[in-house]
């Protein structure tokens, strides 16, 4: 009896004994288990009664649950249901204890990760304590990260992503209020359910972004969760989702990213408030953090990988434009620019045609518009080589009318020409010939930024379409290219389809050589078996309709689809040179060529051309090698151009250095004083044992003569009487005698 009373009052001791010998102390555990069940029923009715004892029992059972799995099978579900059903009525200490014990059960493998996350996800939007919320958030992220550490846990990822997608989806039916103050106040505050749904969606987006940033999730499903958040009716959720694709950071509730520190404000507050050591220490720490943040700040880069993983980007872009156009008056300018930037990124990356966007953006193209550089960047990024020139021409005309005329500052003209250049770089056929001639004339401007912008536009069209330039502006290379017939293809036209891939036989020989070195022979029997019978079916089908036409296998054929020619018109091209019809490889008909194969093919062609140059040294071989080198550089440049993005500096161009403020001037002065002695004249301090300044008499000797002539002493000598001159002479004789002695 004494032992039972002792163990009942000392749960940590009983917990230690049970872990050592679970079988011997099973009766004592069952006694505590029955006690827990009775208190649990009371606690569900009145949470304030015996709350401390209930928390102790929960912690005790969680510690020893692995010793009695059959008896405690329902224990985790009881804690989870209590948290989800009565979370609002529980005290903060009880909430924290229940969550911690639920996490402990997961660490002991009593429950699975899915069961734990199903209990923790609904608690995030309902938790008012920042400490508990941070703990829940860290637990969720750590559990998912550890589960995917060695290999991808697809079962867990699918379950968690389904939960997160549901959290976003539940709030999609609400009304889009926007983020303008008047509209938000007119619609009134949202009800509790809408607010809960918005918090759920916000947490779903935040957790997905964090898992993406930690490289735990890099799949299209996680991108779909954030993409759905871009169309959420709550602007806060929209903004967080847009920032994810744009690669910029947004301050959220529990983010580790600190806000920008206003140094002047801190110093002003320090001067006003009471002077204490703790305040001085806090100020020094904040100033150190601000300085570190200033120098370690990295520019944000767009999240290209997430944009590439978008499912159905055309529909995504159209929905973005519809939201932008429909709720134009409900969103602030900053939020609309975020949507413009993402829409332009998607259009440029996937080469989409959302033509209504160019009509919409025209109303924001005037130089007094706030944040107009960001709008011009979004406009330039949305244009690509498949954009119809007719849709872009009005935009270029609007830019020239608003930005490029004598009535605006030179910075505005430079920004306008740079914006036109970036748009024309992506779609050169949208430029009008007369307008281009006027813009190019600005290269004679006296302003450096305007001259650089106009010269950049001229250089661009000398490369992409010199035909619309005047003859005197084309330059030597462009004129020679036009004279030789090198004319750029118009919009919508492409080069003729190739009959064969040049150098494919080199790749075939290379693969055959690798197989022979590895001791593996090519097995053509399987390939022939796969192709057997295909011509029999075709023959039987053709016998019912038309007859086959026998064609010489060695002939090069030109098949025309013109309506003027008959459908069976086949001509032999007898004018082709034998040198350009080498052995045609069958590798492309038996193997799907991968990007790695094409990269290897390019290397083999380069090596073959180099060997040809070394062997023959002919000009034809050298030209071939030069063409292959230029093509490789072009491919590399094109690959870099796909990843490059435009910044506001590209639109604004080179600018004059802004006038430094007081803080910058003082910083420059202090930097110049480093390593120098104290300021002051060194006259009279050199060649002296004791440094001292010069006397007034010494200084008077070095005065300019014109200053001395106007002095009172000189004028007094001129006006002195005879008696004054005699006295001055006698004094001089006396001083001379004393000095002689």
Q: What is the pLDDT of residue 241?
A: 95
* Of 68-82, 451-465, 615-629, minimum mean pLDDT range: 615-629
> Which of 50-54, 186-190, 258-262, 447-451 has the highest mean predicted lDDT (pLDDT)?
447-451
Position 537 scores a pLDDT of: 41
Q: Say which DSSP state 205 is in.
A: H
pLDDT winner (highest mean) among 196-210, 322-336, 631-645, 673-687: 322-336
State how far the Cα of 394 lies from the Cα of 356, in Å rounded to an integer: 12
Phi-psi region of 617 (alpha: psi -120 to 50; beta: other; left: phi over 0): left
In 3D space, the residue among 435, 261, 401, 230 whose CA is nearest the CA of residue 331 turns out to be 230
Cα–Cα nearest to 629, from 613, 643, 609, 649: 609
How does residue 541 score in pLDDT terms, banded at 50, 70 and 90? Answer: very low
| Domain residue limits, the chain | 388-484, 596-652, 711-740
pLDDT (average), residues 618-632:
80
- Tell me the average pLDDT across 10-19: 90
Report the distance separating Cα 531 and Cα 524, nearest Å: 11
Higher pLDDT, 629 or 184: 629
Cβ–Cβ < 8 Å for 178, 330:
yes
Q: Which pLDDT score, from 0 to 100, does residue 731 have? A: 93
Which tokens go with 14?
A: 């009983």
pLDDT band at 569 (very low <50, low <70, confident <90, very high): very low
Higher per-residue pLDDT: 602 or 370: 370
**Residues 150-189: tens digit of each pLDDT:** 888 999 999 999 999 999 999 898 888 888 765 565 555 4
pLDDT score, position 178: 85
Per-residue exposure over 111-125, b if at least 16 CB sit within 10 Å of its own CB, e if not: bebebbbbbbbbbbb
Residue 437: which H helix or E strand, with range? helix 433-440
The residues pairing with 570 across neighbouring beta strands, listed in sequence order, are: 559
- Name, of 17-21, 49-53, 583-587, 690-694, the range with top average pLDDT: 17-21
Give DSSP secondary structure letters for 110-129: SS-HHHHHHHHGGGGGG---
**CA end-to-end distance (rounded Å), the chain:** 126
Interatomic CA distance for residues 505 and 143, integer angstroms: 53
- pLDDT tops 50 at residue 535: no
In this model, does residue 193 exceed pLDDT 80?
no
Coil/strand/helix, residue 583: coil
Q: What percent of the chain has pLDDT over 70?
A: 80
Q: Which of 85-99, 316-330, 386-400, 494-508 has the lowest mean pLDDT?
A: 494-508
**Cβ neighbours around 326 below 10 Å, total:** 10
Residue 265: pLDDT band by 50, 70, 90 thresholds? confident
Contacts of 708 (CB under 8 A, 6+ apart): 700, 714
Q: Which residue has the higher pLDDT, 369 or 252?
A: 369
Distance between CA atoms of 120 and 111, rounded to whole angstroms? 13
Res. 254: pLDDT tops 60: no
Categorize the per-residue pLDDT at 700 as very low, low, confident or very high, splitting at 50, 70 and 90. Answer: confident
Q: Model confidence at 261, in pLDDT bands (50, 70, 90)?
A: low
Residues 342 and 229 sit within 8 Å (Cβ to Cβ): no
> How large is the average pLDDT for residues 36-55?
85
* Residue 561, pLDDT above cutoff 60: no
Return the ∠ at Cα 524 (arms to 521 and 525), rounded to 5°.
Answer: 115
Q: How many Cβ atoms sit within 10 Å of the Cβ of residue 303?
A: 21
453 or 685, which is more confident: 453
| Pairwise CA distance, residues 349 & 305, whole Å | 10
pLDDT score at 7 = 57
Q: Is a pLDDT exceeding 60 seen at residue 291?
A: yes
Average confidence score pLDDT of the chain: 81
- Residues 164/225, Cβ–Cβ less than 8 Å: yes
Q: Give the per-residue pLDDT at 236.
A: 93
Range picked from 15-19, 185-189, 314-318 for highest mean pLDDT: 314-318
CA 419-422-426 angle, 5° bins? 140
Confidence of residue 564 (pLDDT cuts 50, 70, 90): very low
């Amino acid at each position: 009896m004494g032992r039972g009373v002792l163990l009942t009052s000392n749960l940590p001791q009983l917990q230690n004994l049970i872990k050592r010998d679970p079988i011997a102390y099973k009766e004592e555990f069952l006694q505590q288990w029955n006690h827990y069940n009775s208190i649990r029923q009371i606690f569900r009715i009145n949470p304030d009664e015996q709350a401390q004892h209930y928390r102790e029992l929960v912690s005790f059972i969680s510690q020893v649950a692995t010793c009695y799995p059959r008896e405690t099978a329902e224990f985790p579900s009881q804690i989870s249901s209590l948290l989800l059903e009565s979370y609002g009525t529980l005290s903060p200490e009880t909430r924290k204890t229940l969550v911690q014990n639920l996490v402990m059960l997961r660490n002991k493998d009593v429950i699975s990760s899915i069961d734990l996350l199903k209990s923790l996800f609904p608690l995030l939007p309902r938790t008012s304590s920042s400490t508990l919320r941070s703990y829940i958030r860290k637990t969720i992220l750590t559990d998912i990260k550890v589960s995917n550490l060695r290999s991808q846990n697809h079962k867990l990822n699918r379950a968690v992503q389904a939960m997160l997608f549901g959290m976003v989806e539940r709030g999609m039916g609400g009304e889009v209020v926007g983020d303008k103050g008047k509209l938000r106040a007119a619609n009134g505050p949202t009800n509790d359910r809408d607010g809960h749904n918005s918090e759920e969606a916000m947490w779903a987006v935040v957790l997905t972004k964090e898992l993406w940033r930690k490289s735990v999730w890099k799949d299209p499903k996680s991108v779909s969760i954030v993409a759905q958040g871009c169309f959420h009716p709550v602007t806060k959720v929209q903004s967080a989702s847009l920032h994810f694709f744009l690669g910029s950071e947004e301050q959220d509730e529990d983010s580790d990213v600190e806000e920008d520190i206003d140094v002047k404000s801190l110093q002003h507050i320090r001067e006003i408030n009471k002077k204490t050591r703790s305040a001085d220490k806090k100020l020094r720490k904040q100033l150190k953090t601000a300085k570190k943040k200033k120098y370690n700040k990295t520019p944000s880069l767009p999240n290209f990988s997430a944009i590439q993983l978008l499912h159905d980007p055309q529909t995504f872009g159209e929905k973005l434009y519809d939201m932008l156009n429909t709720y134009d008056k409900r969103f602030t300018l900053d939020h609309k620019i975020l949507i413009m930037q993402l829409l332009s990124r998607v259009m440029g990356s996937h080469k989409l045609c959302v033509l209504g966007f160019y009509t919409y953006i025209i109303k924001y193209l005037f130089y007094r518009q706030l944040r107009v550089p960001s709008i011009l960047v979004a406009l330039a990024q949305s244009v690509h080589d498949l954009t119809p020139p007719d849709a872009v021409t009005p935009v270029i005309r609007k830019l020239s009318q608003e930005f490029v005329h004598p009535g605006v500052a030179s910075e505005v003209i430079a920004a306008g020409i740079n914006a036109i250049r970036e748009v024309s770089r992506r779609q050169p056929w949208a430029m009008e010939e007369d307008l281009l001639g006027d813009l190019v004339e600005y290269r004679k401007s006296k302003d450096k930024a305007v001259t650089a912008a106009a010269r950049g536009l001229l250089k661009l069209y000398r490369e992409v379409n010199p035909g619309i330039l005047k003859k005197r502006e084309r330059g030597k290379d462009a004129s020679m290219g036009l004279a030789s017939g090198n004319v750029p293809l118009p919009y919508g036209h492409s080069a003729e389809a190739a009959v064969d891939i040049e150098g494919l036989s080199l790749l075939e020989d290379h693969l055959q050589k690798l197989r022979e070195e590895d001791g593996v022979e090519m097995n053509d029997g399987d390939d022939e078996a796969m192709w057997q019978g295909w011509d029999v079916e075709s023959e039987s089908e053709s016998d019912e309709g038309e007859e086959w036409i026998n064609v010489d296998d060695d002939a090069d054929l030109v098949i025309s689809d013109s309506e003027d020619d008959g459908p069976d018109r086949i001509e032999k091209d007898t004018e082709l040179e034998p040198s350009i019809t080498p052995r045609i490889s069958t590798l492309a008909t038996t193997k799907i060529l991968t990007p790695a194969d094409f990269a290897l093919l390019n290397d083999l062609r380069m090596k073959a051309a180099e060997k040809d140059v070394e062997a023959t040294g002919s000009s034809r071989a050298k030209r071939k090698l030069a063409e292959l080198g230029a093509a490789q550089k072009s491919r590399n440049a094109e690959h870099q151009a796909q990843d490059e993005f435009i910044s506001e500096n590209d639109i604004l161009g080179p600018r004059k250095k802004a006038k430094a403020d007081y803080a910058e001037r003082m910083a420059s002065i202090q930097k110049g004083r480093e390593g120098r002695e104290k300021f002051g004249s060194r006259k009279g301090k050199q060649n002296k044992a004791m440094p001292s300044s010069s006397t007034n008499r010494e200084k008077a000797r070095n005065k300019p003569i014109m200053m001395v002539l106007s002095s009172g002493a000189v004028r007094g000598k001129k006006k002195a009487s005879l008696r004054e001159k005699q006295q001055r002479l006698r004094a001089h004789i006396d001083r001379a005698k004393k000095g002689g002695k």
